[in-house]
Structures are given as structure tokens and as C-alpha cells.
């Protein structure tokens, strides 16, 4: 199948979270399975920096052309690179003022959020370039709200643009809380027929994700449990009704993990390599983490790792409430993250007052993330909601049984040990997002760590199958359904 992925993020060119991991790993798996796949991204500043570090530059994809949006004309360039560890072509839409601005979701130079504008340009330029290049995909696979205009153009511009007649669209929701909500006066920038405005409006605002949910031929999200949760009022972030209307088109497909990035047997970031068969290297990784964190490596007590964006979603505020009691009971904690300043300050405060027991690393640090996954005894994710979550799958693969709140993809991947399920358990889980539940579950995990139960949990964790092949096969089925719904064969 000919598949084009459209996304704001893709490792290693631009990543703020799991979206960037998935939009690299899935195309890689699809190409390995024989699909004709490419990726379309904005040429963000981190992508330019990545190329500079490599000492190379992407080639010209096609001659520059102009895109008009609400009476303004923009010249865009198309650059062509390649996804590392694959032959997958990556096409970048280049427009410096829109995309060369430091952090990828940064506002413009006046501090104004022009996301609707620049992602509309991104989609329209990508489609124009596909036409110039004669590359018409059978599936336009759009990730989150940024490329949401593409399914809408496909569904509602049909009578004007026959190019879309042969193209089916799939929308993957990685996080329903990011919707691309803008002032309704910006609707004309989308270039859609005026009568579609109610389909793209929610609560008086243009809502790009809603438009794509209504327009896409199929909708997926990144775990079966999250697919269920987002249809409820509690989990629907205001779009549950729209999603319930499209329930026959909504499927949950669990993400996989990319073995070219996350495999303890080959990971270049680790102090020592190890595998399920030969796990001796994990002790070296624990020692290296202790050294980096200023902890005693001789102390057999639990080292708990936590990594992630410091946002409401991740529940780190509640974890931080639990920290004094956790430390008091002998658990040591390493946290890596960036985001909310209040949370950052609290982390630094704990680190200052608890040397040797609590370490806080602020910022985004890929190498440290790998070192924590491998070196910690256990890994904690107290998420309020979690569409899929990758870190718990990484910690499973690294033999670091995770402690998670039972929500979304965490519920689908971590089988909590409850005393009678040693055959299948691979971690620990709790339901209430309270410091008490965290403290109690960590205490339960600590007692397992000191017993013969632990090696069995590690064994189960390292043997869990989160291959992208499985997910890619499932996406194939969804692509076929999308084409059938559009009256196309495959």
C-alpha cells in the first residue's frame, strides 16, 4: 500500500513526546513489511539542527512554489531526507518564519499562537507537493490535530479537487486534550467551503481535531482502553459526543516500541548491555545510574525512576505529594522531566534537601532517559490519563517492572501483581490517584523486590511482545476499512 504520514513530530527530527516516537517507528515497520510509505513534516528548527550535527542537508524535493492563505502568499520549499535506519523518504515543508523558531510549538515572534495558520500551510503545501511529485497515496495517515486539515480537504473539497477521489484518510488521536482550538475568524484560513464551518466548530471555536474526527474515513487511537475512555463524558475532553457519533469508525491500536531505539541488548546509551537471557549487565546500569544520581550503589533498597513531560496529564503533582513518605520508607527516586515550573521547583527542592535519596534532572535528555529505564529497579507512571504511554513499555523491555495508574494504555500493557498472578504479572497498578495509593503500591512493590517474586516479574516484563509488526498489521486492516468506506478498493 502507498501510505503518507503527516505529523508535526518525528524522531530524530522533532520530538516532544511519544508522538515523535510513533511517527518514526510505525512507518519503519510498514516499510519493512513491504509498504510504500513516506513521511511529511514541517522543517522545524530541531530538524535543521539535527542535519547540521550530521554534517549533511536534505536535498531539494521539488522546486519551490507558493501557497495562498486568506489573501497572503507564502513561498514554501520542499526538502527530501530519509528516516534513519530505513529507506523511508521524509519530505519537509520549509517556511522559515513559520517553522524555524526554536521549540516546535513556539508562538510567532509577537507571542501569538499562529498554529492554525502554519499547520494549514503545512497541509496545503504537502498536498500540493504530492501532486507536483506525482505521489498520490492510497492512505493519508494524519497524526493528532496538526495535519487535521488533510482529512477535511479530502472529505469536503471533493467536488473541487478530484485528486482526493482516490485517497482515503485515517486520523490517529495520540492525545484528545490537544485539539487545535482557535478563534472562529480564522476559519477562512482553512480554505474549506463555508457550509462546513459547523462541522469544524465546537463551543464557538474552530476545533481542528473535531473537524478531522467528523471528516476522516477511519479514526484510531493508541490503545483499546483509551478508545473506550474517550467516548465517555469523563474522558472525552468535550468531544465524546462527536466520537460516539463515529463509533463505527473508531478503533484502538496499541503502540509498539521501536527495537532500533529501545533494546537493552544494543542500547548505546547504557553503561552495560543485557537481555532477558543474560541480565548481568543490568547491575552495571544500576551502578552507573547511582553514580550519576549521587546514590549509594551498595544500598539494595528500591530505586524508582520517573520520566516525562511535567504536565497535568502525568500526575507528577500527586507523586511529588507522596515523595516525603516514599523517602521516609527508604525508596530512592530519580526524576527526569521538564514543563510546569512549579513542579520543576518542587523537584529541585526535594533534590536539595535529600541528597543521596532524591535526584531531579530537568530538561529533555534522551541518553538519561535510557539510563534511567535500565538502571532503576522500578519505574512509576501515575498518569491522570494516558492514551498509550511508551515509557512503561520501555521499562518492561528493560526489565524494570513499572508501577502505573490503571488508565488508558497503562491498563492495556501492565498486568499488576496482586498475589495470585505470578504467571502473567509484569508490574504493579493502582486506581486512585492519591499519595496514599502511590505509597501503598510502592510499599507492595518494595516487598516484592526483596523476594523471589521479582525475577519472575522481570522475566514476564522482558518477554512481553510490543512489536510494531503487530500494530502495523492492525493498521493495514484499518486502511482497508477506510478505503472501503470511501468506495475504493485496495
Candidates 12, 17, 84, 349; binder of ligand GLC (CB under 6 A) is 17
| Residue 235's binding partner out of ligand GLC, ligand ADP, none, with CB under 5 to 8 Å set by partner kind | none
C-alpha cell at 14: 522533532
Of 331 and 391, nearer to ligand GLC (C-beta) is: 391
Q: At closest approach, how far in Å is the CB of 307 from ligand ADP?
A: 5
| Residue 354's binding partner out of ligand GLC, ligand ADP, none, with CB under 5 to 8 Å set by partner kind | none
Q: At closest approach, how far in Å is the CB of 201 from ligand ADP?
A: 27
Element (H, E) at 132: helix 115-133
Q: Are 81 and 58 in contact (CB under 8 A)?
A: yes
Of 385 and 417, nearer to ligand ADP (C-beta) is: 385
**CA-based end-to-end distance of the chain:** 8
Candidates 6, 19, 41, 123; binder of ligand GLC (CB under 6 A) is 19
**Taking CB under 6 A as the rule, does residue 252 contact ligand ADP?**
no
**Taking CB under 6 A as the rule, does residue 365 contact ligand ADP?**
yes
Q: At closest approach, how far in Å is the CB of 173 from ligand GLC?
A: 9
Q: Is 204 left (phi over 0), alpha (psi -120 to 50) or beta?
A: left
Of 163 and 364, nearer to ligand ADP (C-beta) is: 364
Give the CA angle between residues 375, 323, 439 to the nearest 5°: 90
Q: At closest approach, how far in Å is the CB of 86 from ligand ADP?
A: 18
| Residue 459's binding partner out of ligand ADP, ligand GLC, none, with CB under 5 to 8 Å set by partner kind | none
C-alpha cell at 411: 491498563
C-alpha cell at 341: 515550573
Helix 18-32 vs helix 468-485: crossing angle, to nearest 10: 80
Q: How far is the C-alpha of 306 from the C-alpha of 300, rounded, in Å? A: 19
Q: At closest approach, how far in Å is the CB of 391 from ligand GLC?
A: 8
Of 391 and 441, nearer to ligand GLC (C-beta) is: 391
Q: What is the DSSP string of 270-289?
A: SSS---SS--THHHHHHHHH
Q: Are 359 and 420 in contact (CB under 8 A)?
A: no
Report which residue's Cβ sits closest to ligand ADP. Answer: 18
Tell the residue number behind the cell numbers 515523595, with chain if given: 323
Report which residue's Cβ sits closest to ligand GLC. Answer: 18
Q: How many residues bind ligand GLC (CB under 6 A)?
A: 14
Whether the upstream peptide bond of residue 12 has omega within 30° of 0, thus cis, is yes
Of 167 and 334, nearer to ligand ADP (C-beta) is: 334
Site residues for ligand GLC, window 137-176 (CB under 6 A)?
174-175
Q: What is the DSSP string of 64-91?
A: EEEEEETTEEEEEEEEEEE-TTS--EEE
Reduced to 3 states (helix: H, G, I; strand: E, B; else coil), residue 121 is helix
Q: At closest approach, how far in Å is the CB of 302 from ligand ADP?
A: 21
| Residue 365's binding partner out of ligand GLC, ligand ADP, none, with CB under 5 to 8 Å set by partner kind | ligand ADP
Query: x/- string (CB under 6 A) for ligand ADP, residues 327-356?
Result: ---------xxx------------------
Span interacting with ligand ADP, options 48-56, 193-201, 275-283, 386-394, rule CB under 6 A: 386-394
| Residue 222's binding partner out of ligand GLC, ligand ADP, none, with CB under 5 to 8 Å set by partner kind | ligand GLC
Tell the residue number behind the cell numbers 477562512, with chain if given: 188
Q: How far is the C-alpha of 91 from the C-alpha of 70, rounded, in Å? A: 25
**Taking CB under 6 A as the rule, does residue 222 contact ligand GLC?**
yes
Q: At closest approach, how far in Å is the CB of 179 from ligand ADP?
A: 15
Give the CA angle between residues 427, 428, 434 to the nearest 5°: 150
| Residue 338's binding partner out of ligand GLC, ligand ADP, none, with CB under 5 to 8 Å set by partner kind | ligand ADP
Name the residue among 438, 390, 385, 381 with its Cα closest to residue 175.
385
**Taking CB under 6 A as the rule, does residue 364 contact ligand ADP?**
yes
| Residue 139's binding partner out of ligand ADP, ligand GLC, none, with CB under 5 to 8 Å set by partner kind | none
Phi then psi for residue 144, to 5 deg, are 60, -170
Q: How far is the C-alpha of 232 from the C-alpha of 228, rounded, in Å? A: 7
Site residues for ligand ADP, window 257-316 (CB under 6 A)?
307-309
Q: Are 210 and 244 in contact (CB under 8 A)?
A: no
Give the CA angle between residues 297, 299, 305 to the nearest 5°: 70
Please report, as ranges, the residues that interact with ligand GLC according to CB under 6 A.
17-19, 22, 174-175, 222, 255, 386-390, 409
Instruction: Kindly list the residues in this chain that would bind ligand ADP in the complex (CB under 6 A).
Output: 17-19, 21, 307-309, 336-338, 364-366, 369, 388-391
Amino acid at each position: 500500500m502507498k501510505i503518507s504520514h503527516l505529523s508535526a513530530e518525528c524522531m530524530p527530527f522533532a520530538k516532544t513526546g511519544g508522538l515523535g516516537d510513533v511517527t518514526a517507528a510505525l512507518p519503519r515497520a510498514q516499510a519493512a513489511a513491504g509498504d510504500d510509505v513516506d513521511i511529511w513534516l514541517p522543517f522545524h528548527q530541531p530538524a535543521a539542527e539535527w542535519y547540521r550535527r550530521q554534517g549533511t542537508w536534505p536535498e531539494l524535493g521539488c522546486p519551490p512554489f507558493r501557497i495562498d492563505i486568506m489573501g497572503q502568499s507564502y513561498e514554501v520549499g520542499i526538502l527530501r531526507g530519509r528516516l534513519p535506519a530505513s529507506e523511508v523518504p521524509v519530505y519537509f515543508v520549509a517556511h522559515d518564519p513559520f517553522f524555524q523558531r526554536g521549540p516546535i510549538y513556539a508562538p510567532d515572534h509577537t507571542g501569538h499562537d499562529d498554529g492554525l495558520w502554519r499547520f494549514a500551510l503545512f497541509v496545503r503545501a504537502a498536498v500540493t507537493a504530492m501532486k507536483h511529485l506525482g505521489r498520490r497515496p492510497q492512505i493519508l495517515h494524519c497524526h493528532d490535530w496538526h495535519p487535521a486539515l488533510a482529512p477535511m480537504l479530502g472529505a469536503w473539497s471533493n467536488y473541487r479537487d478530484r485528486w482526493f477521489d482516490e485517497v482515503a484518510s485515517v486520523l490517529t488521536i495520540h492525545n484528545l486534550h490537544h485539539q487545535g482550538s482557535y478563534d472562529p475568524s480564522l476559519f477562512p484560513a482553512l480554505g474549506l467551503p463555508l457550509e462546513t464551518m459547523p462541522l469544524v466548530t465546537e463551543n464557538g471555536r474552530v476545533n481542528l481535531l473535531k473537524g478531522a474526527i467528523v471528516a476522516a474515513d477511519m479514526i484510531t487511537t493508541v490503545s483499546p482502553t483509551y478508545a473506550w475512555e474517550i467516548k465517555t463524558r469523563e474522558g472525552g475532553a468535550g468531544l465524546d459526543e462527536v466520537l460516539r457519533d463515529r463509533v463505527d469508525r473508531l478503533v484502538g491500536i496499541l503502540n509498539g516500541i521501536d527495537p532500533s531505539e529501545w533494546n537493552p541488548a544494543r542500547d548505546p546509551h547504557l553503561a552495560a548491555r543485557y537481555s532477558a537471557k543474560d541480565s548481568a549487565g543490568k547491575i552495571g546500569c544500576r551502578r552507573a545510574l547511582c553514580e550519576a544520581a549521587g546514590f549509594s550503589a551498595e544500598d539494595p533498597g528500591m530505586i524508582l525512576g520517573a520520566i516525562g513531560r511535567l504536565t497535568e496529564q502525568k500526575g507528577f503533582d500527586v507523586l511529588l505529594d507522596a515523595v516525603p513518605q516514599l523517602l521516609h520508607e527508604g525508596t530512592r527516586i530519580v526524576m527526569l522531566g521538564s514543563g510546569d515550573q512549579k513542579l520543576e521547583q518542587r523537584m529541585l527542592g526535594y533534590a536539595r534537601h535529600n541528597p543521596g535519596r532524591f535526584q531531579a534532572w530537568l530538561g529533555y535528555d534522551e541518553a538519561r532517559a535510557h539510563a534511567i529505564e535500565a538502571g532503576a529497579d522500578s519505574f512509576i507512571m501515575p498518569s491522570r490519563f494516558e492514551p498509550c504511554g511508551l515509557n512503561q513499555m520501555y521499562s518492561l523491555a528493560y526489565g524494570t517492572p513499572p508501577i502505573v495508574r490503571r488508565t488508558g494504555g497503562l491498563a492495556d500493557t501492565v498486568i499488576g501483581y496482586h498475589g495470585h498472578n505470578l504467571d502473567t504479572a509484569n508490574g504493579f497498578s493502582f486506581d486512585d490517584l492519591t499519595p496514599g495509593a502511590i505509597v501503598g503500591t510502592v510499599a507492595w512493590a518494595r516487598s516484592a523486590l526483596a523476594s523471589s517474586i521479582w525475577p519472575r516479574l522481570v522475566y514476564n516484563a522482558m518477554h512481553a511482545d510490543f512489536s510494531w509488526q503487530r500494530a502495523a498489521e492492525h493498521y493495514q486492516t484499518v486502511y482497508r476499512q477506510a478505503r472501503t468506506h470511501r468506495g475504493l478498493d485496495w
